[in-house]
């Protein structure tokens, strides 16, 4: 529980373990609670900006869920915000009932598995993302059409400094090979590029040869060269 004053003091705690723990700001709204060091979340725990803003520059790791608690005034977009400024590798869910901001220096990691299996930022609160998302695709499905909900909060927004590591952005859609993340939906999906017949994430001579081999013939799938689904190549 923070009961200090001013906007200049930083509390540094190395190797802070949250195993059902509760970090709370309980001083005045004009006082900024700044927490540094590193944090491991091993069981469901809570960060509560009840009385004022909290900035966490600590790197947060672990597999436990972290809840951003609802505040006394969730409608105020200037106060009682939890801001994450560190490189976070937490693989539990971030449950947002209050207000969450990912700062420009901050990052979140999402462990992507089989269809629909992943950690996410979810809840009834609002979240603003100005930092970087890292998708760990080591164990991710590559089946066309599979998807993962990454962000599902009441009022999400993505700032101009937001990015996805290793992905390229066009019109707020981030792509890398066969993977696609859309800011508008908060969903990561396996999506073939136009002209990508075999679903490997690239349009190349292999795709051309498949189309050529089936040209003007009936086809029952994209893999046979039917890119528009009309049954004919």
How much of the chain, in percent, has pLDDT values that exceed 90?
64
Computed on alpha carbons and rounded to an integer, the radius of gyration of the chain in Å comes to 22
- Could you read off the pLDDT of 145-157 as tens digits, one per residue? 899 999 999 989 9
- The pLDDT of residue 136: 98
Does residue 190 register a pLDDT over 80? Answer: yes
pTM higher than the cut 0.85: no
- Could you read off the pLDDT of 156-188 as tens digits, one per residue? 999 999 999 999 998 999 998 889 999 999 999
- Number of Cα atoms under 13 Å in the Cβ half of residue 228: 3
- Could you read off the pLDDT of 97-125 as tens digits, one per residue? 999 999 999 999 999 999 999 999 999 99
- 213 or 4, higher pLDDT: 213
Q: Which residues contact 182 (CB under 8 A, 6 or more apart)?
A: 172, 173, 174, 189
Distance, CA of 73 to CA of 26 (rounded, Å): 14
- The pLDDT of residue 184: 96
- The pLDDT of residue 72: 79
How much of the chain, in percent, has pLDDT values that exceed 70?
88
């Amino acid at each position: 529980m923070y009961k200090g004053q001013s906007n200049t003091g930083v509390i540094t705690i190395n190797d802070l373990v949250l195993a059902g723990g509760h970090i709370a700001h309980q001083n005045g709204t004009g006082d900024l609670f700044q927490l540094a060091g590193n944090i491991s979340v091993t069981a469901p725990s809570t960060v509560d900006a009840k009385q004022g803003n909290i900035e966490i520059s600590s790197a947060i790791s672990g597999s436990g869920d972290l809840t951003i608690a609802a505040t006394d005034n969730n409608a105020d977009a200037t106060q009682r915000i939890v801001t994450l400024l560190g490189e976070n590798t937490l693989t539990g869910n971030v449950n947002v009932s209050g207000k969450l901001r990912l700062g420009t220096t901050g990052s979140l990691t999402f462990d992507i598995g089989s269809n629909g299996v992943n950690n996410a930022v979810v809840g009834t609160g609002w979240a603003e993302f100005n930092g970087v998302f890292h998708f760990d695709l080591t164990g991710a499905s590559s089946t066309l059409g599979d998807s993962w909900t990454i962000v599902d909060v009441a009022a999400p927004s993505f700032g101009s400094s937001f990015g996805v590591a290793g992905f390229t952005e066009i019109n707020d859609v981030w792509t890398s090979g066969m993977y696609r993340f859309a800011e508008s939906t908060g969903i990561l999906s396996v999506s073939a590029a136009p002209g990508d017949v075999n679903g490997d994430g690239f349009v190349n001579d292999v795709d051309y040869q498949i189309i050529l081999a089936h040209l003007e013939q009936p086809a029952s799938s994209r893999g046979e060269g039917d890119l528009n689904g009309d049954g004919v190549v």
